[in-house]
Chains A and B, each alone.
Chain A
Amino acid sequence: MRGVPHGEHIFGAALIAVGLFALYARTDLPLGTLREPGSGFFPGAVAVALILFAALALISRNSQTGRRRAEPRGIARISILSVLIATYASLLAAVGFVLCTVVLLLVTLRGLGMVGWLPAVLWAAGGSAGCYFLFTRLGMPLPGGLLAF
């Protein structure tokens, strides 16, 4: 197992954990019989298969030696974007589409993409207002939030 990147172990182990959890969560579903399989039959079989194949993947030789590891700065940027999207989802209904999207685009363009302030502000404002106009015209009810009157 020497030389196998650490993340692959964690991912394989996480898949096994998901399989075990599915087996546990399936216990309140009837297995039925082979003549008449119940609701828990297929999920149970699939969970067992998941555990087996994930275990096999863990112990079989790694063939992804060329895979590039994430750099700490890269992980930081991904984390920032993830938190940003989660915050966006949480505030969307209350704050509204346009304001939330301006912030999302501004941080993505300026903070993560290193685009200059002026183009970032212009793209963020224009993009969010343009999308709001376009999608509401297409019949998608985007929340107005603080700007709704």
Chain B
Amino acid sequence: MDILSSLALGFSVSLEPANLAYCFIGVLLGTVIGVLPGLGSAATIALLLPITYRIPPTSAVIMLAGIWYGSMYGGSTTSILLRVPGESASVMTCIDGFEMAKRGRAGAALGISAFGSFIAGTLGLLGLIFLAPPLAEFALDFGPPEYFALTLVGLTLVSFLGSGPWPRALAMAALGLLLGTVGLDPVRSQARFTFGTLSLQGGIEIIPMVMGLFGLSQAFTMIERRASVEEIAAMPKRLRELLPNRDEWRLAIGAILRGSLVGFLVGVLPGAGATISSYVAYAVEKRRSPHPERFGTGAIEGVAAPESANNAATASGFIPLLTLGLPANVVMALMLGAFMLHGVTPGPMLLVQKPDMFWGIVTSMFIGNLMLLVLNLPLIGVFARVAYMPSSYLVPVIVLACVIGAYGVNNNPVDILVMLGFGIFGYLAEKSGYSLAPLVLAFVLGPLMETSLRQSLILSQGSFGIFFERPITAALFALGAAVVIVPVLRLVLRWRAFGRFLKKVKM
């Protein structure tokens, strides 16, 4: 099927009234939660996962995807107007966006942010459309060794490129893999870590787990420091000239295009995602500017580049999921969870077996981006006011969504206790500086990783050489080693210095 007929098929799905409605709900919710500091897109998607049980899989993913890229739009609004990033990916936008707002150019900053997000989102989708089919076709030849290498290297990259120290991230990934082994062995169907209970034989349910880890733990954080949302600075009263002027466009257009490219490339990498892409795009723009001193004082490129990058990254983040079945970040892991809830396995076969679903999801993002542009420009003032919603009302909403969502999985109150357990664990982990993203990614990838490892060893008669003889696995391990080697060497050198220090002390 050529690209044009694929797009026609996709639009025939995404333009169905129900899918349009789910897309609208998704982008609207995404914008609102993007505006709200504290409640991230991962938490919202986790809270909404149970609802997707009751709607068709394509509509569910269309809505969840809308939440994700919608949150990128929403995050910029409060960053510019209030210097409060609603999303971590909008932190860089605060720097120059708020300075522009102080100088009376809030409208131009918001306008360039919305237009830049739209252009970058569209370019990112074009990249997705042209890259995904050949990559999926290539992945059809993948066997168990390739999948094992992909999952192992993916988890390693997530741990090393993500936030926080890598030993902690790897420890959390290992814990996620361990939790993924609870239940029946995927190869021999032997019960593992079930302790004689029947309810654990199906494994740990992903919904109570992610609702606890991301939803309830967020509520705990909010009630712990109750004042944070009310501490927001006053919103400027007038928003003049939403359209940037010609000079501002001239300065911003290059930054938008470069930010889109950076965001697209970084967004594909496991663990990198929208946040890191916005940092890289800002740094690139500042480095290549003839007047880097303007950055931090209200340079429009400092708004255009990170905002474009985080939107392009949301589109390219779908490439590994839709073509290989591998989530590149925690939001994609939740998206994989949504697919799995409906018995759909994303990966190379998705494009072959369910082209309507694949292309429906992709084209819905075009529509969603357009909706966001139309929605955001006139309603910026309304969305900015959402940031004032006090946590006293937000916390009960999150708690109620968590208990109903967890209960609704099996209509069993025990799932509420499971959710509570993960909520406490998630809160303590975040408080101790342990990131939750590697844990969730490892949990969803664990069964695939184990099955492919065991199948590979059976194929090779117990030889690990199978992972190094095949070109794709060898290339993947080389990539993983390249990322790992510098931080590991740094740690070894630090220990050697510590050893020398101890020797000196003994003398």
Tell me the A residues contacting B by CB distance below 8 Å: 5, 7-8, 10-12, 15, 18-19, 22, 25-26, 29, 33-43, 46-47, 49-50, 53-54, 56-57, 60-64, 67-68, 70-71, 74-75, 77-78, 81-82, 85-86, 88-90, 92-93, 101, 104-105, 108-109, 112-115, 123, 127, 131, 135, 138-142
- B443-478 vs A, Cβ < 8 Å mask (1 yes, 0 no): 000000010011001100111000000000000000
A-B contact count (CB 8 A): 194
Quick check: B392 and A50 within 8 Å, CB to CB?
no
Cβ-based interface call for B503 (8 A): no
Q: Give the top 3 A-B pairs by smallest Cβ distance, nearest first.
A: A113-B392, A34-B462, A74-B224
Quick check: B420 and A89 within 8 Å, CB to CB?
yes
Quick check: B403 and A104 within 8 Å, CB to CB?
yes
Q: Which residues of A lie under 8 Å from residue B499 when comparing CB positions?
A: none
Docked CA distance A63–B166 (Å): 11
- B329-345 vs A, Cβ < 8 Å mask (1 yes, 0 no): 00000000000000000
Cβ-based interface call for B431 (8 A): yes
Quick check: B433 and A89 within 8 Å, CB to CB?
no
Q: Which residues of B lie under 8 Å from residue A19 when comparing CB positions?
A: 174, 178
Quick check: B224 and A71 within 8 Å, CB to CB?
yes
Quick check: B192 and A88 within 8 Å, CB to CB?
no
17 A-B interface contacts by CB (under 8 A): A7-B432, A11-B429, A36-B462, A39-B188, A46-B174, A54-B167, A57-B167, A63-B164, A68-B225, A77-B224, A81-B223, A89-B413, A104-B396, A108-B396, A113-B393, A135-B404, A140-B404
CB distance from A123 to the nearest CB of B (A): 7
With A114-B392, A115-B392 known as contacts, the answer to whether A74 contacts B225 (CB < 8 A) is yes
Quick check: B165 and A60 within 8 Å, CB to CB?
yes
CB distance from B96 to the nearest CB of A (A): 23
Cβ-based interface call for B411 (8 A): yes
Partner of B392, one of A29, A64, A109: A109
Partner of A36, one of B190, B393, B395, B458: B458
- B188-203 vs A, Cβ < 8 Å mask (1 yes, 0 no): 1010110100000000
Quick check: A50 and B174 within 8 Å, CB to CB?
yes
With A7-B431, A64-B433, A127-B396 known as contacts, the answer to whether A29 contacts B224 (CB < 8 A) is no
- B172-184 vs A, Cβ < 8 Å mask (1 yes, 0 no): 0111011001000
Quick check: B192 and A29 within 8 Å, CB to CB?
yes
With A86-B420, A135-B408 known as contacts, the answer to whether A81 contacts B413 (CB < 8 A) is no
Docked CA distance A139–B55 (Å): 12
Quick check: A82 and B396 within 8 Å, CB to CB?
no
Q: Which of B142-167 contact A (CB under 8 A)?
A: 164-165, 167
Q: Which residues of A lie under 8 Å from residue B226 when comparing CB positions?
A: 74, 77, 113-114
Docked CA distance A131–B383 (Å): 25
Partner of A57, one of B171, B390, B391, B457: B171
- The residue on A at minimum CB distance from B175 is A50
